[in-house]
Amino acid sequence: MKFLPLGDTDGIGASCHYLDLNGTGLVLDAGTDPQRSGTDSLPRFNWVNERADGYVDHALITHAHHDHMGGLPVLVQHFPHVMAHMTDATKRLLSFLLPSSARLQQKRLDRGETTEPPLFTEDDLDALEHLYLTHDLEVPFDLTGPKGASSVTGRFYTAGHILGSVGVEFTFQEWGRERRVFYTSDTNMHPQTIIRGGEYPDSTDVLILETTHGAEAAPEQTSRPEERTRFRETLAQVLARGGTALIPVFVMGRAQEILVLLGQLKREGAIPMDVPIYTAGSMRAIAEIYDDTRTTTPRVNPDDQVFGVEQHRVPYEAEAKREILDGPGIMVVSSGMMFEPTLSNVLARRMVENEEDGVLLVGHPADGTPARRLLDAARSDEPGAPVMLADGHGPQPVHCTVERFRFSGHSDRQDLLSIVERLAPEQVLLVHGDPEARAWMAEHIEADHPEMAVHRPDWGSVLEV
């Protein structure tokens, strides 16, 4: 088989890999890089022809995060006959998220925020719905390409990452024997608040393994129950002193998990039932999809509904925003990184100097983002250390509570090693992680399993496996 990374392998943006299985051409995800703009954010789809002498018959979209599906409309422009395979929940999410992305790209161009034209329009998307094929978990489906020398069968396994997320197993014939490849995509072995933990085949010949947390020791040193307890105690303290708790979230996945968690905490009596919870934006539409699929997708408790938790809309008017910040109250708003001019950034600038309030970070605050700058300032030995959250609005002294909680949708590196142990592949391809993460994983897999061949594929280089 041939393997060609089409997305930059030195990071986790634009996840996209080309796989040639005995003449059948497959693309594993088709994401865009959130740190880049325009065509530079896309995978290098042209490399399929130019470097692998191939064609794409089918695309497997493992879940609805933009770094795994945001370039799908452009992939179809390159390969008009491609069919895209996904779960029904992922299809529902794509039908909402991709048109939203098209409108946002056009809006940014109209406002002069970019000179890059949209990668695709809403009209482009109207023609794609018939290309989306959905499949149930663990039910085989055919992926054989017209030039395939043998049949190729796909099978989805729940990945435990977000709603609809899957890993994919491929079965095909090579050198006269059956071969199996398993692509984890983003995976989480343990249950979250809504989504159950991932499931995996019993074994495989080739494992394509994500490595997001490969360089981080901290995630393996705590557990979700421990983080839940710490979150509950911190939130209760902020509310008890009459403060407002700002919880910046990613609108897809983390927002819904946190809202259901807040509902559980209210029912448990950990926080008062009458404390208002405010939400805004597209997370509300995504919540409807989460609730509509609660009996047809793997859930910890199908009775838990996002809209079973009473929510109020964050008002548009500046004066009304000031009024609702007079706590106690809880604000669950985007973005998780607190980028300007998102609502979490706007609200944080009004809260950081108030010692009664709190900012509870429930995602990874990447280096250089406002969320990371706020966390670093709060952890400083200097009381009231300054932070710049937005150009022209700072610096401001940080007096509010700021804490980070590890509610990741990814497995930690010890869990990833246990997946290798369980599936016992002949070969492992390490993807979707920075160089340090892939290096750590390679070193430890090779030490534990010297019989395995471990690869760290290079962006744009064809790997014969």
Domain holding 453: CATH number?
3.60.15.10
Q: Report whether pLDDT(408) > 80.
A: yes
CB 249 within 8 A of CB 362: yes
Nearest to 48 by CA among 39, 37, 57, 36: 57
360 and 247 in a single domain? The answer is: yes
Q: Lowest-confidence range among 28-32, 198-202, 362-366, 430-434?
A: 362-366
Residues 398 and 423 in one domain: no
The answer to whether residues 255 and 179 belong to one domain is no
The owner of tokens 């500046």 is: 318
pLDDT of residue 62: 98
Same structural domain, 331 and 456: no
CA distance 169 to 167: 7
pLDDT at 11 over 90: no
- Give the pLDDT score at 304: 94
Q: Is 330 helix (H, G, I), strand (E, B) or coil?
A: strand
For 463, half-sphere exposure in the C-beta direction (CA atoms, 13 angstrom radius) is 23
Cβ neighbours of residue 92 under 8 Å, at least 6 residues apart?
A: 164, 289, 292, 293
129 and 248 share a domain? no
pLDDT bucket at 236, cuts 50 / 70 / 90: very high
Q: What is the mean pLDDT of residues 22-41?
A: 93
Residue 365 has pLDDT above 90, yes or no: no
Last residue of one domain, picked from the residues 404, 425, 456:
404
Q: What are phi and psi of 111, to 5 degrees?
A: -80, -5
pLDDT tens digits for 64-85? Answer: 999 999 999 999 999 999 999 9
pLDDT of residue 216: 86
pLDDT higher than 80, residue 266? yes
Same-domain check for residues 362 and 435: no
Last residue of a domain, one of 371, 404, 437: 404
Mark whether 156 and 53 lie in a shared domain. yes
For residues 367 and 227, what is the distance between their CA atoms, to the nearest angstrom? Answer: 22
* 318 shares its domain with 430: no
Is the per-residue pLDDT at 400 higher than 90? yes
Examine the pLDDT at 319 and tell me if it is beyond 80: no
Mean pLDDT value across residues 149-157? 97
Nearest to 361 by CA among 346, 380, 374, 342: 374
- Gap between the Cα atoms of 61 and 43, Å rounded: 14
pLDDT confidence of 245, banded at 50, 70, 90? very high
- In tens, the pLDDT along 42-57 reads 999 999 999 999 999 9
DSSP per-residue letters across 398-429 = --SEEEE----SS--HHHHHHHHHHH--SEEE
> Per mean pLDDT, which range of 226-230, 335-339, 395-399, 447-451 is the poorest?
335-339
Q: In whole numbers, what is the pLDDT of the chain averaged over residues?
A: 94
Same domain, 253 and 386: yes
pLDDT value, residue 113: 84
Domain count, the chain: 2
pLDDT exceeds 90 at position 225: yes
Tens-place pLDDT, residues 158-190: 999 999 999 999 999 988 899 999 999 999 999
* 334 shares its domain with 439: no
Per the model's pLDDT, the better-predicted residue between 320 and 218 turns out to be: 218
Range of the domain at 229: 223-404
- Kindly indicate the confidence band of residue 217, based on its pLDDT and cuts at 50, 70 and 90: confident
**Long-range CB contact pairs, 96-99, < 8 A, 24+:** 96/282, 96/285, 96/286, 96/289, 97/64, 97/66, 97/69, 97/252, 98/69, 98/70, 98/72, 98/73, 98/125, 99/125
pLDDT(455) > 90: yes
> What is the pLDDT averaged over residues 351-362?
96
Q: Is the pLDDT of residue 222 over 90?
A: no
Instruction: State the CATH number of the domain containing residue 251.
Output: 3.40.50.10890
Report pLDDT for 343.
92
Residue 243 sits in the same domain as residue 165: no
Q: Are residues 322 and 372 in the same domain?
A: yes
